Chain A
């Protein structure tokens, strides 16, 4: 019977009570793992022929934990964070196309609806203004969305830089804690609190970047991040953000010959949103594709029409080029160009006669300057290029010009053997440019000679028709040539070698140079971000080029613009522009929906793992209270034991006294 035995019990239970108290105190502390006390029996001592125990002591204080589960949780956090980052971007993109707020799709539809309505009431000034206002609204929305996407791209870059700084900060804290843990554990003591703190920092780090625990053969534990390219303790300060040729962001490590891949966490999410399908870069590219298409089809149609005022006395381009001496193909034009002809009609105001002239343009060779020179080669037209990269075209007094490609009312018949007036009527409605050669078969007098005929031959040399212009033909009466165009022959004599040609123009601007340079276009601006409606139209909606001849109710050119609505011009000619926008919006929604599902699944899995960890390492207060009662009882018992021993010793001392 010794006091020491009781004392050991008092000490052990007091320590255990402290551990329990600590567990209860930290029941809700983030990163805390419950601790357990393991009692061990003190060594026995020999007494007579017996061995008697000497009490109890604390063998160890263990901390609950599960490194595999914790690693899985960190991976989950990294994955969730990556998905959350991508979801945030996807939601921001989706918000740009939210219905009911005048989206690009809605405004495009509105523009076409107003154009269609205008076809019924083309002289209504309010409707013309409404069309221009609708186009303006579309341009503004395109510009707003484009700028918002640009801002998102810039914000992503900024967020990436912030994330890298956060990674460095957290990694630095982990490195400091590792050092402290090493110092303490080298003295043989436990560093539970520091380890908990370190692991909490690692968990926080996993939000920013993927973190992986590695154990060496000698049992040494290390943590790496960013696809294993960095030791956590080393930080990621030497990361470099680069923009590749496709405009996508990439993360490079100094000294590496290729960008990092497989980076997780928020950093991985931010980087992927700039390059992956459905990301900012992808949506920017699609928006640019749409803008190029609508600009090409509406502007190209508009450029080859005229407003109610008729042909132009002068006009200046609305899309300046950077270098007027550089090839047109090298300019940053909003629509592509290809080599071909541009047809220019010059109209004599007094006589009403027009002359159709074509000039050949090769964007790979021609510059704005040479384009100007070629225009100057046309009678009664003067073109000049200013220092701002714009071209101004002016007609001589008494003349006007346009790019409608309207039929030449009086084709050149100077080569005929006798003076013969040929007049051409109508508007060509064909799909391609055609030149017809008309050859007289036989000699005689038009309208008189029996059997006198006129043969029509197309560009391929094929005879497409023959007219009787002899006895049964009424001179000056119209003969239908093709697709809405007719012609008449005045009375006169011809021989069988006489012939003349008639040009029928469906595409007055095969090059696309008018749209590219912004000559009489609906929109101006060289990119989605700078798209605007032509201010000339805002100031005077009657200039809206709905006509091909200036007649107020001529809606031929308006129909061309309306036709663009149903034209299958996107995705290799499979869908319309509106369908493209709808698909783009649906894709943004799909991206959000899929990411929400993925994130939800990830979080559910994360919750399960976290619950499992909580069951293993968390503090069950009731359990701790039960232990507390147990330790209290043990302590009380030990104290009672000491009292008994003391009483027995007093009895012994009384015998001695």
Chain B
């Protein structure tokens, strides 16, 4: 085979090689100009998916960090606000403790008013127009004063916000509760057996009340009947007797002395003399209970005990619904207005009258404070033992409210701590991810420069050799 090298052959080699080198130089120049190694999927198709995934993760972590910052800011503000709320409740407790002995209860009540205002301000606090304690209903002012007394002091504060908290996505699959429900913070209840303060002897029954706050139990006497047919109620018995109880709970004792005088005692109390004309005798028991009794039919020779039964009615809705006392330990009374029920132990009722029912553990923060304020103001009207009982209940309420707020602050502090840990983790992860992106995507400048220089050298060699070859021709030697 002939070895023939044509000019066309040499030219083609020169052109092709020069084109290839120039293409390489253009690509290296692009890498250096942009600082990137991968400009489009075809530059590194096998790495493309991973690169896109890493970039996406980095961008997502950027948003996560922004969301974490938002959640952290809100939690910080909330912890700060609720810490202040805890201080308010601590002060309220101090005032409640001082109440029974204080001679300046109005002053104490006035201070509680200011505490209520301060607590209301915390409950209705907002940041950038977003309510802190309205849950998802963040544009609604959560705690609305729905009742005021003649002095303009709030007597009723109702929650208008949402029962659901608003969650922020702080990382894929992880949320933080940034806007809690005010009901959860300020209105949590932890019911304990209700306390009855008053003369009737009623107690909490075997069951669970649904009524909340404070209530009133009205016990009325209906009729008294006697175990002996020779003793009958006096004319003033209805409306005048102040005993309640099943047969045998109260006892009338008939006595006679040697002189022929006859006496009657109620429940072992003071002796009251009577005779055949005693048709409406007022007999008072040891605790002030009384009956009006007709003893005119009593045999002169009779002495001994006579059991009595005193029936009555009870009501928890101010007398709208009066229920006959059934003397059981779980009598259910319904408030006609609200439908709420109170379960009482009516077997323990001994006297007609009005009891104050403390539905313990059902007051929220605001109710506890308002009740303390009101009780301090009304303390002068209460007998000392009842005042102490009531203020003890207030102290318990406020302590419970304080504990709840403090517990919630603790929960938020824990969440805050978790978020900060998460933030650090995301920040570190983002750093690693960004480094991976840079490692993958960015051009190695030093390497690119060396390659560029090499390619330029090659190109110069091509040009030089091409020029040298084309210079030599037989034509130059033909004369």
Residues on A facing B (Cβ under 8 Å): 27-28, 91, 94, 97-99, 105, 109, 112-113, 116-117, 119-123, 421, 425-427, 445, 447-448, 450, 471-477, 490-491, 547, 549, 551-555, 559, 562, 566, 578-579, 582-583, 585-593, 596, 607, 610-611, 614-616, 618-623, 625-626, 629
User: Is the Cβ of A447 less than 8 Å from the Cβ of B341?
Assistant: yes
User: Is the Cβ of B63 less than 8 Å from the Cβ of A614?
Assistant: no
User: Is the Cβ of B48 less than 8 Å from the Cβ of A619?
Assistant: no
User: Is the Cβ of A425 less than 8 Å from the Cβ of B341?
Assistant: no
Interface size on B, residues (CB 8 A): 71
User: Is the Cβ of A547 less than 8 Å from the Cβ of B136?
Assistant: yes
Give every chain B residue within 8 A of A586 (Cβ-Cβ).
Answer: 41, 45-46, 48-49, 52
Give every chain B residue within 8 A of A621 (Cβ-Cβ).
Answer: 6-7, 473-475
User: Is the Cβ of A585 less than 8 Å from the Cβ of B6?
Assistant: no
User: Is the Cβ of A551 less than 8 Å from the Cβ of B136?
Assistant: yes
User: Is the Cβ of B52 less than 8 Å from the Cβ of A582?
Assistant: yes
What CA separation (Å) do A610 and B209 show in the bound complex?
A: 102
Give every chain B residue within 8 A of A551 (Cβ-Cβ).
Answer: 135-138, 162, 164
User: Is the Cβ of B208 less than 8 Å from the Cβ of A473?
Assistant: yes
What CA separation (Å) do A562 and B172 show in the bound complex?
A: 9
Interface string of B204-223 (1 = CB under 8 A from A): 01111110000000000000
User: Is the Cβ of A474 less than 8 Å from the Cβ of B191?
Assistant: yes
User: Is the Cβ of B169 less than 8 Å from the Cβ of A119?
Assistant: yes
Asked whether B323 is an interface residue with its Cβ less than 8 Å from the other chain, the reply is no
Using A445-B332, A588-B41 as known contacts, say yes or no to A553 and B210 having CB atoms under 8 A apart.
Answer: no
Contact of B42 among A450, A475, A590, A616 (CB under 8 A): A590
Using A98-B40, A554-B166, A625-B474 as known contacts, say yes or no to A618 and B45 having CB atoms under 8 A apart.
Answer: no
- Closest approach, in angstroms, between the C-beta of A234 and any C-beta of chain B? 34
User: Is the Cβ of A120 less than 8 Å from the Cβ of B168?
Assistant: yes
User: Is the Cβ of A552 less than 8 Å from the Cβ of B63?
Assistant: no
Interface string of B132-161 (1 = CB under 8 A from A): 001111110000000000000000000000
User: Is the Cβ of A585 less than 8 Å from the Cβ of B48?
Assistant: yes
User: Is the Cβ of B330 less than 8 Å from the Cβ of A626?
Assistant: no
Give every chain A residue within 8 A of B7 (Cβ-Cβ).
Answer: 27, 619-621
User: Is the Cβ of A559 less than 8 Å from the Cβ of B169?
Assistant: yes
User: Is the Cβ of A472 less than 8 Å from the Cβ of B8?
Assistant: no
What CA separation (Å) do A566 and B162 show in the bound complex?
A: 29
Interface centre among A112, A119, A445, A583 (most CB of B within 10 A): A119
What 4 A-B pairs have minimum CB-CB distances, sorted nearest first? A589-B41, A592-B42, A475-B210, A554-B136
- CB-based nearest A residue for B334: A491
What CA separation (Å) do A611 and B8 show in the bound complex?
A: 9
Give every chain A residue within 8 A of B162 (Cβ-Cβ).
Answer: 551, 554
- CB-based nearest A residue for B7: A621
Give every chain B residue within 8 A of A615 (Cβ-Cβ).
Answer: 2-6, 9
User: Is the Cβ of A589 less than 8 Å from the Cβ of B332?
Assistant: no
Using A94-B40, A547-B136, A593-B42 as known contacts, say yes or no to A618 and B56 having CB atoms under 8 A apart.
Answer: no
Known: A94-B41, A113-B62, A626-B474. 20 other contacts (CB 8 A): A94-B40, A112-B60, A113-B59, A113-B60, A119-B67, A119-B175, A120-B71, A447-B210, A450-B206, A471-B207, A490-B210, A491-B341, A552-B136, A553-B134, A554-B137, A587-B45, A589-B48, A591-B42, A592-B42, A615-B5
- Closest approach, in angstroms, between the C-beta of A16 and any C-beta of chain B? 17
User: Is the Cβ of B6 less than 8 Å from the Cβ of A562?
Assistant: no
Give every chain B residue within 8 A of A629 (Cβ-Cβ).
Answer: 478
- CB-based nearest B residue for A448: B207
User: Is the Cβ of B136 less than 8 Å from the Cβ of A120?
Assistant: no
Using A490-B339, A589-B43 as known contacts, say yes or no to A611 and B166 having CB atoms under 8 A apart.
Answer: no
User: Is the Cβ of B332 less than 8 Å from the Cβ of A109?
Assistant: no
User: Is the Cβ of B40 less than 8 Å from the Cβ of A99?
Assistant: yes
List 10 A-B residue pairs with CB atoms under 8 Å apart, sorted by A's residue number.
Answer: A99-B39, A117-B66, A120-B70, A448-B343, A474-B210, A551-B135, A589-B45, A589-B48, A590-B41, A607-B16
User: Is the Cβ of A622 less than 8 Å from the Cβ of B8?
Assistant: no
What CA separation (Å) do A91 and B473 show in the bound complex?
A: 44
Asked whether B87 is an interface residue with its Cβ less than 8 Å from the other chain, the reply is no
Asked whether B130 is an interface residue with its Cβ less than 8 Å from the other chain, the reply is yes
Using A116-B67, A427-B164, A552-B137 as known contacts, say yes or no to A476 and B169 having CB atoms under 8 A apart.
Answer: no
User: Is the Cβ of B130 less than 8 Å from the Cβ of A553?
Assistant: yes
Give every chain A residue within 8 A of B59 (Cβ-Cβ).
Answer: 109, 113
Asked whether B340 is an interface residue with its Cβ less than 8 Å from the other chain, the reply is yes
- Closest approach, in angstroms, between the C-beta of B386 and any C-beta of chain A? 26
Interface centre among B5, B169, B175 (most CB of A within 10 A): B169
User: Is the Cβ of B473 less than 8 Å from the Cβ of A589?
Assistant: no
- Closest approach, in angstroms, between the C-beta of B311 and any C-beta of chain A? 22
Give every chain A residue within 8 A of B49 (Cβ-Cβ).
Answer: 579, 582-583, 586
- CB-based nearest A residue for B131: A553
- Closest approach, in angstroms, between the C-beta of A329 and any C-beta of chain B? 35
Give every chain A residue within 8 A of B66 (Cβ-Cβ).
Answer: 117, 120
- CB-based nearest B residue for A469: B208
Asked whether B167 is an interface residue with its Cβ less than 8 Å from the other chain, the reply is yes
